Chain A
C-alpha cells in the first residue's frame, strides 16, 4: 500500500474511531448530566403537595387539588380556618366538594353531607373523611398526609 493510501486509511480509521468514541461518550454523558440535575418538582408529590397559594381561598370556600393519584379537598371554614381532607367520599368513591350555601362539605352522588371537621353528618357516607395536615410555608399552603 502506498504511503498516501496508508495515511488516508489511517485518517479514516481514526475518524471512525473518534466518531464512535465521541458519539458514545455523548450518548452517556448527556443523559447522566440531565439525570443529576433535579427535576422541576424535587420530590414525589404523594406525601406532601402545595395545594394553593396563601389568600387564594376566601372564607367559606373550597378547592379540589391533585394529591398523588387522588383528589384532595382544601377548604376555608366560614370562620377562616384552613383544613384539608381526602377528596373521595367514603360512600361510593365520588369526589366531594365544598358547598358555600351549606357552609360544609357535600357529595353530589347521593346527597351525603360532611361537616367542616370531615365528620359524616347526613346521608349514606359511613365514615368521616380522612383529614390531612395543613401548613403554611411562605406563600404556599402545603397539605401533607399524616404518617
Chain B
C-alpha cells in the first residue's frame, strides 16, 4: 500500500519535473564489489552524523542563549527543564565527536586507497576542507556552553593561533573578537557555528556528493581487475539497505554513548579564576597540543612552539596537496612511500593523543 502510494507520488512529480534521468541514474548506480568495499561506508556515516548534528543543533537553537551572562544558564535550562533536553544535548555533543571520528576514518580509507588520484582531486580538496570545517565546528561549538573547561580550552587554543608568525596577532583577535576570551568571543563563535560554517559545509558537501555521483566510486589499483569482472552491487536497493543498516548501527552506538556517558554540564566559566589543572583541547586537537608540550623552549635559536607549528603547517600542506605529491612520486603506479608516511603519521597522532590523556 505504501509502495503504491509512493509510486503515485513519483508519477505526479515526474509528470511535472521529468525525473526520468534521475530514475535511470538511480537504477544503474552500482557500487564496486571488492575486498575493500566496506571502506565506502565511512563517507555516508560522516554524512549521517552531520545530519544528526544539524537536526539536534536546530533543536538546541530553540532554547540556547548566546551571551556570556545567559549561555551557561540556558544550557542548564535545556538539561533540567526542557523535556528530553538532556538527551538532545548529549546526542549533539556525542554525535559531534562521532562525526569527526567518521570523517577521519573516511579520510584515512580514501588516503590509503588512493581515491584522491585523478580525476578525483577536487573531491579530495573539498573533503579536506570539510574535515577542517568539522574541526572548526567542534572548536566553536565547544565554547558555547560557557563552562570552565570550555572557556580555558578556548583560551589555550586561540593562544596557539596567536603564535602563528606574521598573521598570528590578527588571527587571534579575529577569533576572540578582542584580546581576551570574553562574551564577544562567544557571540562570534556562535555566529561561526550556526551560520558561517554550516553555509560553507552545506555548499561543500553538495559539491562533494555530486562529484562522487558524477565520477562513481573509485577502486584501488590492486582491486581493479577483481572489480572489473564484477558488475558491482546495485545501489538501490542492495547497497542502500546496507548503508541504512550501517546508519542504524551508528545510531545505536550514538544512543548508547549518550545514555551511558551523558555529557555533563560542568561549572560556569569564571574568567577571573585561575585555570584549573589539566586543561586540554578536544581529542582531535590533542595530538598537536601534546606534541607542542614536548618541544624544547628553543630549537636552533627559534622558539620551540613556532618550530612545532611550522612543522604541523608543512605536514598539513603535504596532506592537503597529496594528489599533487602523489602524482609526482608515482606516475600512476602504487606508491608504498606514501602509504608508509601515512601509517607513520597515524601512529604518531594516535600515540600523541593517547599520551595527552594518560600523562598529567
Contacts and interface: CB of A to CB of B under 8 A. Distances in A.
Interface of A: 20, 24, 31-32, 34-39, 41, 43-44, 46-47, 147
Given A41-B81, A44-B74, A44-B76, A36 B69 contact: no
B88 A35 contact: yes
B73 interface: yes
A38 B81 CA distance: 9
A44 B77 contact: yes
Contacts of B84: 31-32, 34-35
A34 B88 CA distance: 11
Interface residues of A: mostly helix, strand, loop or mixed?
Answer: loop
26 contacts: A24-B248, A31-B84, A31-B87, A31-B88, A32-B59, A32-B84, A32-B88, A34-B84, A35-B62, A35-B82, A35-B83, A35-B84, A35-B85, A35-B87, A35-B88, A36-B59, A38-B82, A39-B81, A39-B83, A41-B81, A43-B77, A44-B73, A44-B74, A44-B77, A44-B81, A47-B70
Contacts of A20: 248
Contacts, number: 39
Contacts of A44: 70, 73-74, 76-77, 81
A34 B83 contact: yes
A31 B83 contact: yes
A37 B62 CA distance: 10
A147 B73 CA distance: 15
Interface string B39-78: 0000000000000000000010010000001100110110
Nearest to A68: B73
A35 B59 contact: yes
Contacts of A34: 83-84
Interface of B: 59, 62, 69-70, 73-74, 76-77, 81-85, 87-88, 248, 251
A70 B197 CA distance: 40
Contacts of A32: 59, 84, 88
* A20, A37, A38, A39, most chain B CB atoms within 10 A: A39
B297 to A, nearest CB: 44
A37 B70 CA distance: 21
Contacts of A35: 59, 62, 82-85, 87-88
Contacts of A37: 83
A84 B76 CA distance: 26
A84 to B, nearest CB: 20
Given A24-B251, A35-B59, A147-B69, 12 more contacts: A31-B84, A34-B83, A34-B84, A35-B83, A35-B84, A36-B62, A39-B82, A39-B83, A44-B70, A44-B73, A44-B81, A47-B70
Nearest to B59: A35
A40 B76 CA distance: 15
A19 B59 CA distance: 26
B86 to A, nearest CB: 10
* A24, A31, A46, most chain B CB atoms within 10 A: A31
A20 B251 CA distance: 13
Contacts of A46: 73
A47 B73 CA distance: 10
Nearest to A32: B59
A38 B74 CA distance: 13
Nearest to B87: A31
A129 to B, nearest CB: 22
Contacts of A36: 59, 62
A147 B70 CA distance: 11
Nearest to A34: B83
Nearest to B81: A39
Contacts of A47: 70, 73
* A20, A36, A47, most chain B CB atoms within 10 A: A36
Nearest to B76: A44
Contacts of B251: 24
Nearest to B84: A31
